[in-house]
Amino acid sequence: EAEVAQSPRYKITEKSQAVAFWCDPISGHATLYWYRQILGQGPELLVQFQDESVVDDSQLPKDRFSAERLKGVDSTLKIQPAELGDSAMYLCASSGDRPGEKLFFGSGTQLSVL
Amino acid sequence: QKEVEQNSGPLSVPEGAIASLNCTYSDRGSQSFFWYRQYSGKSPELIMFIYSNGDKEDGRFTAQLNKASQYVSLLIRDSQPSDSATYLCAVNENAGNMLTFGGGTRLMVKP
C-alpha cells in the first residue's frame, strides 16, 4: 500500500539551531501539505504545494520557516532558528488534485526544542 | 475565520456501547467532510468521509452530515477498547483540497 514517507521520526534540537524535515508523497499525488500539530490541538496547515508551486503559505512563519518542493515530488520544511514554541508534531500529507480528494498523512516528525 | 469545533472530551463509554462524536463547522461552502482517528504519538488515519447529506455506514462506523445545520457526526457501534483515541473532524472548502481540522475529541472505551 502506498504511503507518505517522512523523516526523521523524532528530532531533538536546541533553540537557535536549524532543523529540516523531509517528505516524499504518495506517487502521483500532485498536492502536498505540511501541517503542524501542537499537543492537544488539531493539525494546522503551514503550507500547501500544487506540484512545485506554493498554493497557500499564509500561516507559515516566514521569518524562520521555509518550504520547498523543487521538482514537484519530495519536499523539505526547514526551521532556522528553532524556538521553544516550535516543539510539535510536523505532519506531511498528500492528495490528488481533484476537489474532495482524501488526504493521507505520513508518520510525522516529533520535534522537541530544548 | 473558518472554524471547525469539537468537544475536547474525554468522552467515556463502556465497551459495547455506541460512541457519538460531534462536529460543527462555520463555512457554509464546505463540500467534503472527513473523520480521522489519531492514537497518542501517531499521525492521523482516515476512517470515514462523507460528501452528501444523510448517513454513510462502513462497518461499525456511521458518518452523518446535515449541511443545513452545519453539523457532522461519527457514530461508533459496539465500541472496543482499541477505539480509544482522539477523533479529528476535518472539513474541505469547495476550492482546493486543504482541510481545516477541529481540535479533536478524545474517546475512552472502558472494558
Closest residue of B to A101, CA-based? B97
Which pLDDT score is estimated for B96? 65
Closest residue of A to B33, CA-based? A100
pLDDT surpassing 80 at residue B97: no
Q: Cβ–Cβ of A97/B94 closer than 8 Å?
A: no
Rounded mean pLDDT, A24-31: 94
Task: Considering only the beta carbons, identify the residue of B43, B98, B103 that sits closest to A42.
Answer: B103
Residue B88 forms beta bridges with which residues?
B36
Which pLDDT score is estimated for A44? 95
Q: In what order do the strands lie in the sheet with A75-79?
A: A5-7, A19-24, A75-79, A65-68
Cβ contact A4:A105 at 8 Å: yes
Q: How confident is the model at residue B110 (pLDDT cuts 50, 70, 90)?
A: very high
Which of chain B's residues have a Cβ under 8 Å away from the Cβ of A48? 96, 98
Task: Considering only the beta carbons, identify the residue of B41, B95, B101 that sits closest to A43.
Answer: B101
- For residue B109, the SS3 value is strand
* Average pLDDT taken over every residue of chain A: 94
Which pLDDT score is estimated for A60? 96
Distance between terminal CA atoms of chain B?
40
Over residues A53-97, the pLDDT tens digits come to 999 999 999 999 999 998 889 999 999 999 999 999 999 999 987
